[in-house]
Each structure stands twice: as structure tokens, then as C-alpha cells.
Amino acid sequence: MACLAESAKRGALQLQRRGSALSRALALSRVGQLRARGHLQRKQPSVRPRRPGRKGGGIMELKKDINAVSIDMLLIVHSEKRRAAQGTHSDQQADPSALLQRRGGFQGIGNGVRRWQKLEGNDLHENLVEKQHPSQPQVITSYDSQGTQLTVEVHPRDAMPQLLKKFSLAKRLQGDKNGNTRPRQPGGKDAHDVYLRPGSWVQSLPARWRSEPDWNQAYPWDRSSLKSMSLDLRQFEKLDLYASQVTAKSGLDELVSDLLQEAHTDLERVRAIWIWICHHIEYDIAAAQEKDRQAFKPTDILRTQKTNCDGYAGLFERMCRIAGVQCITVPGYSKGFGYQTGQSFSGEFDHAWNAVYLEGRWHLVDSTWGSGLVDTTTSKFTFLYNEFYFLTHPALFIEDHFPDNKNWQLLKPPQSLRQFENNMYHKSEFYNKGMLSAHPETSMIRTVNGKATVTIESCAPTLFMFMLNGKQEHGLLSLRKNGMKLEVYPPTMGTHKLQIFAKGNSDIYSSVLEYTLKCNYVDMGVRLPAELHQPVGPSWFSEQMGIMKPSHPDPIIHTSDGRCSISFSVEEGINVLASLHGDDGPITEETQRRYIFQLHWEKRTELKVQLPHAGKFALKIFVKKRQEPGNYIFVFNYLLCCANTKVNWPMFPESFGNWGQDNELLEPLSGVLPANRNIPFKLKLHGIAKVLVKGQDTWPLTLNHEGYWEGSCSTAGCQEVYVMVLENANHNFYSYILKYKVNAQ
């Protein structure tokens, strides 16, 4: 392409030499009008191209408007071989409708979103579609001896320039309230394809004539922030509170003016608009299901305070433009409401969001998803502000947003649609709750020898839980300080749905990951108890709850004889409760606890466990502060495994409320005593005056020099044996602390 300045100069001289009175009259008349209106200054000594909207001599006059910049005169110079006169103008009359693609609003569909379609009639933003003028423009074309073509078109005001139609300049140049046009879209080529969409400017200008930075925003996520620019959200606290409380106005200009009272930078202006929309505009589910519903207009949205994703995006763009901030609407595919893991995307687009230009770069926002969510079971919208979708880092935004134009990914290299479909989808809560990565990184995983393993890395300790096909079963989830590890054992072959949830500062667990699990083999030997809940094994959370320095740090304990002893330190003022659960059918809570006997010594708690038979059992640990009312809180559980089929241990003796925290039982540990036998007793009790063992008769125990109460009792002629204590020697009232059963003869 020949230099624009030189070509323009040669073309103008050629016109003058030809002596075309009409050409000179039209040119001079038009320039005179422009100068008279103050849109052009006097011609400088040398003709230089200028950026639209800036002062100085040039070739393009841009009409200022609060919402748009229209072209009243356009001079396009390009070099080509001279063609026959009858062919010179034929291309200029091309049908512009063939050059316009994906213009305007959305078409409602049944799944609660609106699809991008060609618009017939009014545009979503009311001022983007050019109206064709019935009058025909006058075109003047001249050639010089070197084959340079100079074409000047004079057309009625507000008419679509024919030359723009030829070069696919389908929409009017958009500008801010000061008349300045926007930077071109990211990733645009410097070739001579003049392509404009909302938010771009003439891309045919060579790179050396543009002052914008590199729009290929290729920067990976460094885990330091979820945002595409450095932000301290605390700086927005006052602005957010103010913007959320601004009431809706009858017009956008008045509303934006009120919002900007506390906003002094472009970033603050965008933030105020974002906060207001997210806290005042409700997602219109009913309208989303009306397929013939026309696109929402900003005035209608203000009146009803309801809209769909296209309306959210359109309103956000319109308000930003009024505020003088460059913004566009981006249509595309999304992994939103109704999305299924592994789903393919084709056909019309189902979502829209925005890109805003701040501090020399484009940034992405989605006010639809920032405002709340739709309950899939009730199909009701709930306002639930989501900070994640404000200036989201492009490397994270691409996980659930795929734009129609790959350049709006703001990534290099951009992802393909197939990659978008296959990549792991981390929900916004995944990052909101401090998670950094997950493995595997694909949404479809297969078991190996009947097991699948999932790990998550987080930047802070986090509580997790999982569901396999809607139940908290068939998995071992252990917590780590920097994440978690989950091992899943599907009970049947086939396809399974695996969901992982995380808990933040609230008491609510939110879904953060979903996997489709393919299982082609089931290990029947790995059957986990249904009562084995998460988490398994001690962790940072058990320490936080007062249980420290466990004797068994691993979540799984193997025992060859069906017995084991587990101990740990317990904070002062904390009570511990444990219960054993297998899959032998329903048993009472009392029986579950009878296979565990709890002892205390040297500031440690010991749990003596006797398994009733071979198999796998869940040993649940609960805690409660002694001085606080309420129930015990589940902390974690161990998985106890025994393969010895000869194991057949009885329960421990039943203990009563007067069994003290610091008491210790050495014998007998079995809660079932043989009949007609003398049974030795040995136990340590604190603060006790007398101890008796009562069967058919009563036998006293004596205190030895080691501090243990010792003695024996006959089981002849009785079915139960009790241990009783007298706390005060001056009283005659004895309390039961232990109960044994006696086998039938």
C-alpha cells in the first residue's frame, strides 16, 4: 500500500490538473463547511494522517455525539491497476447486508439464555445499526499516471458510506462522550482489511500510526491475583456501598451521573456501574424462555429492573459509554446455566459479556454472572454478588467463556473451541475459595484398578467434601494444609458423576469441581463403610478443634487381631466422644460406642478399640467444649481394617456419667464376663473414697500403693455386674460407673 499521505497528495493534484469543476466545487464546498463548523482546522503544510477525533488537518471529519462518532467524509486511497469505467463503481454498490454478520441482539431459547442472531429492526443499543438513506451518494474517482486511484464520496448525512460497505465497515465508529474513538480490538492485523465492530477503530492504518499498546494480552496466570490488573478491593468499599444504594432513574444519563459522584477514575467509573447493575438488575428467567422476545432496551431494563445476559451486557456497555469509558459487548458460548460436563458447543451463541478498556489494556467482565444465580431445581433467580467476574484474569475467564472472536480471549495463543469443550472447568467458587489447581486437569477421568484419585492445591487450609452420584460414599478424602486428596472407588462399572465441594468463611459448602468418572473395573475387596464421612484422618482441622499429636497420622489403620489403641493430646476444656460404625445393619448409638473404651493419662486421650469381626469400620471422632451447650461436633474419622476372619471381640463395659475423664480401666476390658468365675478388677479412679463391685454379692476393692483399686468378684448366680463408687466417706450414697454383662450358663 502506498503511503497514504503521498497518495492523497498526488490524487488531489491529479484532480486539480484534470480541471474538474464539479470535483473542485464539491471538495472545496465540503471542506469549507467543515471548517465553518469547526470540525477541521486549516490545512497544514504537509498532509499527515491523524487518529480519528484528534485536532489537526486530515482526511476524515468525525461528528461528535454522546453515543457515537459518524463519518461525514471519508477519503480512502489505495493503489491498484486502472479498471474500465463501468467496472470502477460496480463494487461500490455491493449489498451491505451480505457483509454484516452476527449483528445486534439475542434470540430467547428454552434453557434460560438468549442466542446471538442477526437483528431486523432496532438494534440492542438503539444506535449501532446504520439507516440506509434513499439518496444516492456522489462518487468522484481519479487516476494518476502511476495507477493510483483517488476516490472521494460525498453522501447525505447519516447515510452509510458506500466505500465502507465495500470494505465491510458495517457499523458506525463508536466513540466516547468526548468524541474520541476507541482503540482497535485486540489481536487485529495491520493488513488493509478495514473491519469495524463495536469498540474498534479503523484497523487499516499501519501500526506506526497507532499509539495503542500491544493488544495480544498474552500473560499467564501467576496465582497472585484473580484479576487482570492489580487491585486492592478495600479501596472500593466506600464506592461499592454508595453505588449499591443509588436508586434507579428514569434515564440512563441521570443514573450514570449519580453513580459517578463518587467515581473519579475510569476504573472507579466501571466499578460503580458494575456494582449498581449487579445489585439492582434481576435475571429474567421467564423472558429467557420466550423465543420471539426482542432484545432488551436499556430504558426497558431500568423500568422493569429485569433482563437477560444480552440486556446485562448491553446496559453495561451503554452506561460505560455515557461515563466516557470504552466498552464493547462480546457474544459467545458459556459453561453456565444448564451446562453438562463434557458438553459440545455448536450453532448460535448462548451468552454475552463485556470488555472494558482501562489503563491501556482490555479487561473482561460478566455482570450477568456477577449479580446472582438461578436455582436449577426451582428456576428462581437469587441475588448473590460474585466478585470473581469483575476484571477476571483472561486465563481464568476462558474456562467458562468462549468469545465469537478468538481475539477477545485476550490470550496468546488463543484456545480452540475443542480445547474449550475438553478443558477442565473450575467454577468461580474454586478460585473464590482460594484454590489454585486440580489434578487431573480434564473433566473426564477413568479409574485405574477400580480407583480414581483427585488432588486440589489451595493457597490456604480449606474444608472439602465430595459426592459420588449424589451420595457421600465410596471415597477417602483427607485434608492437607495446602489442599486435599480424594480417592474414589465406584461401586459399579459405568459412568459416574463426581462433585467436589469446598467451604469458605460461611457454613455453606459450594460446588467447585465436577468430573465425569468412567469405571470399567470394580475391586470388590475395597468396600468402604457407608458411614465413612469426610474428612478421613487427622489434619489441620482436627488441630484447630483441639486434637493434636495423634499416634496415627495416617487415615487408614490396619489391625491383624482386631484390636488397636489410638491416642492424641486434647486441649484443656475439650471433651472427646468416639463411635464405631460398620455395615452390619442398624445398631444403636450406645452399641456403637461400646466397642471403644476411652482412657485419659498424662494429658492424652486413649481410645481402645476392639472390632466385633473382620471387615472395614469407620471410627468417628467428635469434640465439644465442656462449658458450652450444644451437641458434639464431628471432626474426622479413621478407617479401621481387619482381614482376620477369626476376630470376634465383645463390647467394652458400659460406662455411666460418673466415669471421670481421668479414670483408667486396666481389667476387665471385656464388657461380657464368663459365668461362675472369679474376675479380677483393676482400675484407677480419682477423688474416690470407696469402690465396690456388685454381682450376686458385693466385694470391696482396695487401693494399692500405685494408686490402683484392685480386687475380684464372682459372677456366680448373676446376669450383670456393676462397679460402684462412694465419692465422700461421710455419705452413704454410691454411684454406678461401669456395667458388665454375664454370659448365660
Concatenate the DSSP letters of all residues of 517-530 into one string: EEES---TT----T
SS3 481: coil
Q: Is the peptide bond before 653 cis (omega within 30 degrees of 0)?
A: no
CA distance linking residue 189 with residue 66, whole number of Å: 29
Supply 275's cell numbers: 456494582
CA distance linking residue 500 with residue 513, whole number of Å: 5
CA distance linking residue 419 with residue 666, whole number of Å: 64
Q: Is the peptide bond before 403 cis (omega within 30 degrees of 0)?
A: no
Indicate the angle between helix axes 266-280 and 252-259, nearest 10 degrees. 120
User: Which residue, 503, 386, 394, 493, is CA-closest to 449?
Assistant: 493
Supply 481's cell numbers: 494444609
Exposed, middle or buried, 401 (CB in 10 Å: 0-12/13-18/19+)? buried
Polymer length in residues for the chain: 745
User: Which residue, 218, 217, 221, 219, is CA-closest to 430?
Assistant: 221
Exposed, middle or buried, 630 (CB in 10 Å: 0-12/13-18/19+)? exposed
Q: Residue 81 half-sphere exposure, CB side, CA atoms within 13 Å?
A: 2
User: Which residue, 336, 585, 657, 616, is CA-closest to 474?
Assistant: 616
One-letter identity of residue 405 = N
Catalytic residue of the set 155, 278, 309, 350 = 309
89 belongs to the catalytic site: no
CA distance linking residue 599 with residue 475, whole number of Å: 31
366 belongs to the catalytic site: yes
User: Which residue, 298, 212, 286, 224, is CA-closest to 255?
Assistant: 298
Residue corresponding to grid cell 456501598: 241
CA distance linking residue 538 with residue 551, whole number of Å: 10
The angle formed by the CA atoms of residues 215, 221 and 227, to the nearest 5 degrees, is 75
Indicate the angle between helix axes 266-280 and 309-322, nearest 10 degrees. 150
CA distance linking residue 430 with residue 586, whole number of Å: 37
323 neighbors 137 (Cβ within 8 angstroms): no
CA distance linking residue 485 with residue 73, whole number of Å: 66
Catalytic residue of the set 351, 496, 533, 581 = 351
Residue corresponding to grid cell 453495561: 316
277 neighbors 367 (Cβ within 8 angstroms): yes
Instruction: Name the DSSP letter for residue 615.
Output: E
Catalytic residue of the set 176, 240, 366, 400 = 366
Instruction: Name the DSSP letter for residue 687.
Output: S
SS3 341: coil
554 belongs to the catalytic site: no
Q: Residue 470 half-sphere exposure, CB side, CA atoms within 13 Å?
A: 0
CA distance linking residue 514 with residue 468, whole number of Å: 10
Active-site residues, by number, are 309, 351, 366
